[in-house]
Structure 1
Amino acid sequence: MELEPFLHTAADLIAVPSTADRPDELHRALELVLDVVGGGFTVERFASHGKPSALLYRPVDGPRPPFRVILNGHLDVVPAPPEQFTARREGDRLYGRGAQDMKISALVMAHVFAELAPLLPYPLALQLVTDEEIGGRNGTLHQLEQGVTGQFVVIGEQSGLEIVTDSKGILQARLTATGRAAHSAYPWHGDNALLTIMEAVRALHTAYPLPTAEAWATTVNLARVDTPNSAFNQVPALAEAWLDIRFPPGEPGFDGRGAAQIAEHLGDICGPGVTVAVEHADAPHHADRARPEVKALQQAARAQGFPGGFLRKHGAADGRFYSQRGIDAVIFGIGGAGLHGPDEYADITTIVPYHRALRDLLAAI
Structure 2
Amino acid sequence: MDLESLLAAAQDLLAVPSTADRPADLHRALDLVLGFVGPGFTVERFESGGKPSALVHRHAERPRFRIILNAHLDVVPAAPHQFRPRRDGTRLYARGAQDMKVSALVQAQVFRELAGGLPYPLALQLVTDEEVGGRDGTLHQLEQGVIGDFVVIGEQSRLRVVTDSKGMVTAGLRAVGRGAHGAYPWLGDNALLKLHRTVDNLLAAYPVATEEVWRTTVNLARIETPNEARNQVPALAEAWLDIRFPPQDTDLNGRTVQEVTAHLATFCEPGVTPVVHHVDPPHHADRDRPEVRRLQRAAWDQGYRAGFLRKHGAADGRFYYRRGVDAVIFGVGGDGQHGPEEYVDTTTVAPYYRALREFLLDPCGVPAVP
Give the TM-score normalised by the residue count of structure 1. Answer: 0.96
* Matching residue of 1:25: 25
Task: Compare 45-54 and 179-188 and name the one that shifted more.
Answer: 179-188
1:35 equivalent in alignment to 2:26: no
- Of residues 244, 248, 260, the one that matches 2:246 is 248
Shift of 1:82: 2.4
Task: Compare 185-194 and 256-265 and name the one that shifted more.
Answer: 185-194
Shift of 1:229: 2.2
1:341 aligned counterpart, secondary structure: coil
Matches for 1:95-174 after TM superposition, within 5 Å? 95-174=93-172
Matches for 1:168-187 after TM superposition, within 5 Å? 168-187=166-185
User: Distance between the aligned counterparts of 2:269 and 2:19, measured in 1?
Assistant: 39
User: Distance between the aligned counterparts of 1:300 and 1:325, measured in 2?
Assistant: 27
AA at the equivalent of 1:80: A
User: Distance between the aligned counterparts of 1:17 and 1:231, measured in 2?
Assistant: 36
Shift of 1:310: 0.7
Task: Compare 119-128 and 82-91 and name the one that shifted more.
Answer: 82-91
| 1:15-36 alpha-carbon deviations (Å, 9 max, x no partner) | 2221212212111111111111
User: Distance between the aligned counterparts of 2:216 and 2:99, measured in 1?
Assistant: 24
Q: How many residues align?
A: 363
- Of residues 259, 262, 275, the one that matches 2:260 is 262
1:270 aligned counterpart, secondary structure: coil
AA at the equivalent of 1:29: A
2:174 aligned counterpart, secondary structure: strand
User: Distance between the aligned counterparts of 2:23 and 2:331, measured in 1?
Assistant: 26
AA at the equivalent of 2:28: R
- Of residues 338, 344, 353, the one that matches 1:340 is 338
Q: Is the 8 A contact 2:333 2:345 kept in 1?
A: yes
1:13 equivalent in alignment to 2:13: yes
Give the TM-score normalised by the residue count of structure 2. Answer: 0.95
- Of residues 191, 197, 202, the one that matches 1:199 is 197
Unaligned runs of 5+ in 1: none
Shift of 1:188: 2.7
User: Distance between the aligned counterparts of 1:220 and 1:147, measured in 2?
Assistant: 34
Percent pairwise identity: 67
User: Distance between the aligned counterparts of 1:150 and 1:311, measured in 2?
Assistant: 23
* Matching residue of 1:57: 57
Shift of 1:271: 4.1
User: Distance between the aligned counterparts of 1:357 and 1:295, measured in 2?
Assistant: 13
AA at the equivalent of 2:194: T
User: Distance between the aligned counterparts of 2:28 and 2:321, measured in 1?
Assistant: 30
Q: CA 1:186/1:311 → structure 2, altered by over 3 Å: closer, same or farther?
A: same
- Of residues 314, 319, 322, the one that matches 2:320 is 322
| 1:112-165 alpha-carbon deviations (Å, 9 max, x no partner) | 111111111110000011111111111111101101001110000011101111
Shift of 1:235: 2.3
Shift of 1:166: 0.8
User: Distance between the aligned counterparts of 1:8 and 1:236, measured in 2?
Assistant: 53
RMSD: 1.3
1:269 aligned counterpart, secondary structure: coil
Q: Is the 8 A contact 2:194 2:269 kept in 1?
A: no
User: Distance between the aligned counterparts of 2:184 and 2:31, measured in 1?
Assistant: 63
Task: Compare 243-252 and 287-296 and name the one that shifted more.
Answer: 243-252
* Matching residue of 1:48: 48
AA at the equivalent of 1:22: R
